[in-house]
Amino acid sequence: MKAQTKKLSLMLMMGVFAVITLMSIGCETTQMTPEQQKAYEDSLSQAKQDSLLKANRAKCEFKLSNGYEYYKQQNWEQAIANYEDVRDLGCGPSMAENLYLYLGNAYREVGNQDSAIAVFKEGREHMPHNVYILQNLAYMYKVTNQTDLQIEAQEALVEEDPENVEHLSEMATLYMDTNQYENAVNTYKKILSIDPNNSAAQSELITAMNEAGMNPMEALRERWDNNPQNSTYGLEYGEALFSNNEYEEAVDVFSKVTDIDPQNVRAWNQLARAHENLENYAQAIDAYKGLLNIDSNRKDIISDVAELYININNYTEALTWANRAINTGSNNGMGYAARGRIYEDAASECSGGNPSFEDKLVYQMAYDDFQTAVSMGYGQVTSRIEYLENFIPSKGDWFMQSDSATEVSPDKSCYSWIDRTIQRPSE
């Protein structure tokens, strides 16, 4: 019996030796490629994880449940302790969806920013398409001033959720803050393709285009077209047209703005200026009057109206408005300057370049008003005073007048609207 047992043991040993020898020979003759080697190592790692998960599943589920309860109670330290136990037990990858986001947030809440970032990064490895992990990772990079990494995370987030306007807006803001204006322009355009009425994106697009050196005209037009009741958008579009010398188009836009917002002083003013540039003086006057219906004491606008009446040779109305400018308050040199220009223009028109004594009287009126304007601090007409010294009546002109009246007014029919007199100088 013992002999048989001994013989059997010897046979078994020989068999084992043969197997070992065959395996050794196989290992020596078979070389794995790098890809095969990696696959082999991955399979071993996965087998290890599966083994750990199988052995520790119950414990992991218990710890994960405890961690969540503590998380809800905002007991961050205990939540972290339980969640870290889940990682230590090797269950992290298989329970990633319910682990990494909460653990990272808990670390963030206790002010451990580095650990929060590390956890979110690990979570991203196991869940590369999880938008919440990416969103929190981008936020952590933001609060730690790691702008380049924040941009990288935000771009990944946008790639995963490309129709999310909130993510796109954050991305565009990042591009603006880092002077990547062309990228910002493209991002704002993407937002508007999703949400055409997004007023914030419409405004920021224009800013980005200006910063990028692009012409924002089309963006301004689209914003106005999409928001035809928003007077601010219309005003900004109209002003861009005005700056681009597109006055007719500007008039159309400003007219619509004043229709929807009759109290908009700026729109009335811009409408008047656009008409002036088109030499539509009567329409410019009407626009300025619309402004004055809102703010009746604007001396500058009243003076502008007076001068516009000069342009259409309506001296009677021009004088009425100049006098109104003078009467809006004391020391109003602007009003006297406007009235002086009326007299100067009328004398030039009536005299035909060869002034008579009566024309010189009107030049004198202009000269006197300009002097009054300068004495009140309105120095813009100083040069006109010097110029008119050549056109006002001289002592010889007065000497030649047979009429000895102390006050004289022009009798020419083209001055019928003037009821002002000039006093004869004393000898």
State the CB neighbour count (10 A cutoff) for residue 98: 15
Instruction: Give me the helix-helix angle, 131-143 and 113-126, nearest 10°.
Output: 150
Between residues 403 and 263, the one the model is more confident about: 263
Determine the distance from the C-alpha atom of residue 227 to the mean position of all C-alpha atoms in its chain, rounded to a whole number. 16
Domain end among 107, 142, 161: 161
Give residue 226's pLDDT.
86
Cβ neighbours, 10 Å, residue 170: 20
Segment among 20-24, 55-59, 67-71, 213-217 with least mean pLDDT: 20-24
**What pTM was computed for the model?**
0.65
Q: Which residues contact 289 (CB under 8 A, 6 or more apart)?
A: 305
Q: Residue 408: beta bridge partners?
A: 422
How many distinct structural domains can be found in the chain? 2
* Residue 396 counted as domain residue: yes
Within-domain flag for 350: yes
Q: Which of 138, 161, 184 is the last residue of a domain?
A: 161
Assigned domain for 115 exists: yes
Domain CATH code at residue 123:
1.25.40.10
Q: In this predicted structure, what is the pLDDT of residue 76?
A: 96
In a domain, 199, yes or no: no
Domain end point (choices 126, 145, 161):
161
Q: Is residue 124 part of a domain?
A: yes
Instruction: Report whether pLDDT(19) > 50.
Output: no
Domain contains 222? no
Q: How many C-beta atoms surround the C-beta of residue 387 within 10 A? A: 15
Stretch 46-51: mean pLDDT, rounded? Answer: 63
182 within some domain: no
25 within a domain of the structure (yes/no): no
pLDDT above 70 as % of the chain: 88
Residue 5 pLDDT exceeds 60: no
Tokens at residue 137, please? 């990772």
Provide the pLDDT confidence category of residue 12 given band limits of 50, 70 and 90: very low
pLDDT at 22 over 90: no
What is the extent of the structural domain holding 93? 56-161
